[in-house]
């Protein structure tokens, strides 16, 4: 059965819409409480709730917590905290469940709710479907309860201290925290290593999260790196589970380049578990070529960092992630963590003495183009006859020298197209053919 509310990464939508408002948050809290009762947990089971800096976060948190409390569960607020720090707090503090009120890289007008189970691991598709089945038909109480506060920052920051072999005295680093949840964590950690940190996107006002800054908008970071002669730039998304970097020349490194850099270093050092890197179907074919040349292999999953971690656990892998910048270092955390990823890359720079502009050369990308088309209705893929025909034609024409990926976004009403191939001209022609077919099959806005 298909999930109705949960997408690739939790429930997400415009704040005030039918599935992202206080009443729905209360119902979701009540459903989570019912789910925990089914598990027959001992009395005093706690749920830890964190949020990013969106103006709507506090009221959604209060409503969700009220639903939990009405269901007999203790709810504690972690306040503004990155998603990976919430995951860690659940794991370290032995909570029954963790919740993050965030829409990640989306604008401030959106919000979302995602869950972590015991151990700080995101819920599976089956668990989310079961949770949906426990949703009450309506909100039955408007009562709001005071939330006890739990500390999630102290332990999270302390976890980062062993990750670098040397201090960063003399290093200039541009840090863009997207006016989001990492504003109180990433900067203090880097400064704790004696780095000279130039902050961008560090003045959240509830409305400016991801607005022209952060991992979705790295231009200001790149410009600042060039202007100040920094060693690198680090950009997070609104909830801090992503990391995008730029080298000392102000040229962006995406998740594929970060993953390849870390995987190749791990292969050389013998620290890449089972010589496996786990990525999604979105990652560039060049990642497979580079890792294979280094003596490893790549395993692919559907898009979504929780699918990556599920496969990592199954394979015994310790490194995986997405081209979007979700990097999972499973020996540190069971979810994407933008700060951990950045520190891991800096550690490779320290170990090799090489700048990012050199280390990034390990990945030679295949030409790739992608396009996101906003659609009125997500028609079933099997009904898109023209799109299906063009996919088959392109796959036959390119063979093993390229690939085509067409999928709906799990969080937005968008059809995502990707073509990868041997030359820029072939890729451009392919994406144009796919777009024309999609516009014929769907109502594109």
Active site residues: 104
What is the distance, to the nearest Å, from the Cα of residue 444 to the centroid of all Cα atoms in its chain? 27
Check: CB of residue 93 under 8 Å from CB of residue 151. Answer: no
Q: How far apart are CA 6 and CA 286, in angstroms?
A: 32
Kindly give, in sequence order, each residue whose CB lies less than 8 Å from that of residue 98, ignoring residues fewer than 6 positions away.
47, 48, 49, 50, 86, 87, 89, 90, 115, 116, 117, 120
Q: Could you identify the residue written with the tokens 């790196």?
A: 225
How is residue 32 annotated by DSSP?
Answer: H
Kindly give, in sequence order, each residue whose CB lies less than 8 Å from that of residue 107, ignoring residues fewer than 6 positions away.
209, 210, 211
Residue 306: C-alpha distances to residues 48, 262, 310, 380 (Å): 19, 20, 6, 23
Q: How far apart are CA 129 and CA 310, in angstroms?
A: 17
Q: Could you identify the residue written with the tokens 């989306």?
A: 106
Q: How far apart are CA 257 and CA 104, in angstroms?
A: 21
Q: What are the counts of helices (DSSP H) followed by strands (DSSP E) for the chain?
A: 14, 17
Residue 256: C-alpha distances to residues 39, 104, 215, 261, 366 (Å): 39, 19, 14, 8, 12
Q: Among 218, 226, 260, which residue's Cα sits nearest to residue 344?
A: 260
Check: CB of residue 320 under 8 Å from CB of residue 309. Answer: yes
Kindly give, in sequence order, each residue whose CB lies less than 8 Å from that of residue 293, ignoring residues fewer than 6 positions away.
none
DSSP assignments along 400-431, one per residue: GG-EEEEEE-SSSSEEEEEEE-SSHHHHHHHH
Q: Give the count of beta carbons closer than 10 Å to the beta carbon of residue 194.
A: 12
What are the φ/ψ torsions at residue 71 (nearest 5 degrees)? Answer: -90, 5
Check: CB of residue 372 under 8 Å from CB of residue 419. Answer: no
Radius of gyration of the chain (CA): 22
268's tokens: 């050389």
């Amino acid at each position: 059965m298909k999930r109705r509310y949960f997408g690739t990464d939790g429930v997400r939508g415009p704040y005030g819409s039918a599935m992202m408002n206080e009443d729905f948050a209360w119902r979701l809290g009540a459903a989570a409480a019912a789910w925990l009762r089914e598990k027959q947990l001992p009395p005093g089971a706690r749920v830890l709730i964190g949020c990013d800096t969106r103006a709507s976060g506090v009221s959604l948190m209060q409503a969700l917590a009220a639903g939990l409390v009405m269901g007999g569960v203790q709810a504690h607020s972690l306040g503004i905290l990155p998603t990976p720090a919430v995951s860690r707090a659940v794991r370290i503090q032995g909570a029954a469940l963790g919740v993050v009120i965030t829409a990640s890289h989306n604008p401030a007008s959106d919000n979302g709710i995602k869950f972590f189970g015991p151990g700080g691991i995101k819920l599976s598709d089956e668990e989310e479907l079961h949770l949906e089945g426990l949703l009450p038909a309506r909100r039955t109480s408007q009562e709001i309860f005071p939330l006890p506060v739990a500390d999630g920052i102290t332990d999270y920051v302390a976890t980062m201290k062993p990750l670098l072999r040397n201090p960063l005295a003399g290093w200039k680093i541009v840090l863009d925290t997207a006016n989001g949840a990492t504003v109180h964590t990433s900067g203090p950690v880097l400064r704790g290593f004696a780095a000279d940190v130039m902050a961008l996107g560090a003045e959240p006002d509830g409305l400016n999260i991801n607005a022209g800054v952060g991992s979705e908008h790295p231009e200001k970071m790149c410009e600042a790196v060039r202007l100040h002669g920094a060693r690198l730039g680090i950009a997070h998304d609104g909830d801090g589970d992503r990391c995008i970097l730029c080298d000392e020349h102000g040229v962006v490194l995406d998740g594929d380049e970060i993953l390849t850099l870390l995987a190749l270093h791990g292969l050389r050092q013998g620290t890449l578990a089972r010589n496996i890197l786990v990525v999604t179907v979105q990652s560039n074919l060049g990642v497979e070529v580079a890792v294979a040349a280094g003596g490893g292999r790549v395993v692919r999953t559907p898009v979504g960092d929780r699918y990556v971690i599920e496969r990592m656990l199954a394979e015994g892998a310790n490194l995986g992630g997405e081209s979007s910048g979700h990097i999972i270092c499973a020996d540190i955390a069971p979810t994407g963590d933008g700060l951990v990823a950045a520190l891991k890359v800096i550690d490779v720079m320290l170990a090799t003495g090489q700048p990012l502009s050199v280390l990034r050369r390990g990945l030679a990308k295949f030409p790739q183009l992608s396009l996101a088309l906003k659609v009125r209705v997500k028609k079933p893929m099997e009904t898109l006859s023209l799109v299906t025909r063009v996919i088959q034609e392109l796959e036959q024409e390119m063979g093993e020298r390229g690939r085509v990926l067409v999928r709906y976004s799990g969080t937005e009403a968008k059809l995502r197209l990707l073509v990868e191939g041997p030359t820029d001209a072939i890729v451009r022609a392919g994406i144009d053919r796919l777009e024309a077919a999609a516009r014929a099959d769907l109502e594109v806005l």
